[in-house]
Amino acid sequence: MSKSLQEIQEFNLKKIICAVNGTENYEEALDKEYFKYGGNRLEELMGKNLTLDRVLLALKNLNKIFIYFDIGNSDICEREPECGDYDYFRVLANWGLTKRTLEEQSEETQRAIYELLGGEND
């Protein structure tokens, strides 16, 4: 049975917040977010801060592959570090630029980010 979209969103939130704050401890990451943005911790985090820059930063901090954003096609792509051919890449997800946050993206994109962050579908 595959994960529900809500389960994927919760996983993505925790992984991204932890990765951009340099910790694997979610409570510690929440505290760092609180100090950065002020206000109510949960109110600040629920979908408001999972923007493209934070998603890419989290992927950068968690993966050993080269990940980049192809602005021409709005794609999050990867290239193997050893690959000398800069034209060879694989599209991982498409980010709809008219939608600001990860939770606003298509379910397909949210699931792709989930897998990139280490989530596994059953």
Q: What is the pLDDT of residues 7-52, one digit of tens each?
A: 999 999 999 999 999 999 999 988 888 777 665 555 565 556 799 9
Report how far residue 96's alpha carbon sits from residue 108's, in angstroms, rounded to the nearest whole number.
11
Is 20 a domain residue? Answer: yes
Q: What is the pLDDT of residues 43-61, one digit of tens each?
A: 565 556 799 999 998 988 8
Is 121 a domain residue? Answer: no
The per-residue b/e assignment along 81-120, b for 16 or more CB within 10 angstroms, e otherwise, is: eeeeeeeebeebbbbeeeeeebeebeeebbbbbbebbeee
Is 49 a domain residue? Answer: yes
Is 52 a domain residue? Answer: yes
* Residue 2 scores a pLDDT above 90: no
Q: What three-state secondary structure class fits 43?
A: helix
State the residue range of the domain holding 52: 5-64+99-116
Report how far residue 114's alpha carbon sits from residue 121's, in angstroms, rounded to the nearest whole number.
9
Is 81 a domain residue? Answer: no
How many domains, the chain?
1
Is 43 a domain residue? Answer: yes
Residue 95 pLDDT level (bands cut at 50, 70, 90): very high
Mean per-residue pLDDT of the chain = 84
Is 74 a domain residue? Answer: no
